Structure 1
Amino acid sequence: MAITTRLRPVPLAATALTGVTALYMTLVAVGNIVDFGTNREFVRHVLAMDTTFRDEDLMGRAIESRAVQDAAYVAIIGWEVATALVLLWATALWAVGVRRGAAERARWAGTVGLVMVLLLFGGGFMAIGGEWFAMWQSADWNGLDAALRVVVLAGLALLVTHLPTRPQELPGEARPPR
């Protein structure tokens, strides 16, 4: 079978987007492990709310314990590593498995990894960091724009992953009877 008959648009796009997201998450996780201190300071400032407007009605949310701040940061890194591994696995399934009729496994693994990204960047950074800890108020420690970019990438990848495909696009997949 010629390579052009094996490369179909939707699985190819899902492979590429899942792979790009996997690469991004891998670089983020490795960066946070190798350069532990830089983003630890970011997490500490966000949780301490020390660069916000310091509204007395909100400051009760601040977490000033260094131990709790560092535990939160280590948990974030653990989530990033797990997410990167799931997305790398999903990319491999898309790249290799689709030719063997394993599109559903690739779609499932990709969905899990991409939802993990959405939970971290949308739920963790945008909702909890941005709103609960008022990160949006900080001129110095505001990661909302970066988080939004990652949410858009992961959301787009998730949508493409779930686009319908014609049965002939997935070699080895069951074809509906005519």
Structure 2
Amino acid sequence: MNQLTTSKIIRFSKATLMLFISFFGLLVMYSNFTDYASNYESISNILSMESTGDDGRYSYRAVTSHMLHHRIYWLIITLEVIYTIFFMIGTCYLYKNMNGSAEEFHEAKKPAIIGLLIALLLYYVGFQVIGVEWFNMDQSHAWSYKDWTRHIVDFILPLLIYIAIRVED
């Protein structure tokens, strides 16, 4: 008889949390592909610093090239696609190795960890550090993603730690 152990529940929870974050990635990708214009407008306004209300003190930081806005937005979309693919592969690997040895399950975490690191790169470094600190995104009432990305980072960082630690047998 197959007993439900704490280790099996932990393994299941890790795979299921990766399923949840995979769903998030798919929704973000869907939004960016189906509503490119609105999302581009947000990124363009952040990069051009038009609504930061800093009286031009930091205007030297602004990126005003629309071509560069599109390229940066496509970089963001590309990173979202890449981390979502890693999330989905990681989810599949974790479910596939649910009943494997401790070593097999631990090794199955690699794609999930890579995807979570890429997502942290985008949302923490890209939006929280560069967006807030360089482009003063937090000073814009209309175009700030600071709180939205903070909520994402607040989920991804503990998830990365939880997935990476080896507590299951």
- TM-score, length-normalised on structure 1? 0.87
Equivalent residues of 1:10, 1:161 under 8 A apart: no
Report what 2:134 is aligned to.
Answer: 132
1:139 Cα deviation from its structure 2 partner: 0.4
Aligned residues: 167
Aligned residue identity for 2:144 = N
Alpha carbons of 1:166 and 1:125: their partners in 2 closer, same or farther (altered >3 Å)?
closer
* Map 1:128-167 → 2, pairs under 5 A: 128-167=130-169
Map of 1:52-63 to 2, 5 A cutoff? Answer: 52-63=52-63
Q: What corresponds to 2:74 in structure 1? A: 74
Note the C-alpha offset of 1:78: 0.8
- The answer (yes or no) to whether the contact 2:113–2:160 under 8 Å persists in 1 is yes
Shift of 1:98: 2.9
> Within 1, Cα distance between the matches of 2:91 and 2:9?
15
Q: Which range is displaced more, 143-152 or 105-114?
A: 105-114
Q: 1:166 to 1:45 in 2, by over 3 A?
A: closer
Give the CA deviation at 1:12. 1.8
Whole-Å separation in 2 of the counterparts to 1:66 and 1:166: 49
- Whether contact under 8 Å (1:98, 1:106) holds in the other structure is no
Query: Does the 8 A contact of 2:49 with 2:62 survive in 1?
Result: yes
Q: Which residue of 2 aligns with 1:43?
A: 43
- Aligned-residue sequence identity (percent) comes to 25
* C-alpha spacing 1:56/1:104, structure 2 compared with 1 (3 Å): same
- What are structure 1's unaligned runs of at least 5 residues? 168-178
Q: Distance in 1 between matches of 2:93 and 2:112?
A: 9
Q: Which amino acid aligns with 1:150?
A: I
CA contact (8 A) 2:8 2:98 kept: no
Backbone CA RMSD of aligned residues:
1.7
Deviations 1:68-102 (A, max 9, x none): 00110011101100110000000011111232332
Q: Which runs of 5+ in 2 are unaligned?
A: none
Structure showing greater Rg? 1
1:17 maps to 2:17: yes
Structure 2 length-normalised TM: 0.91
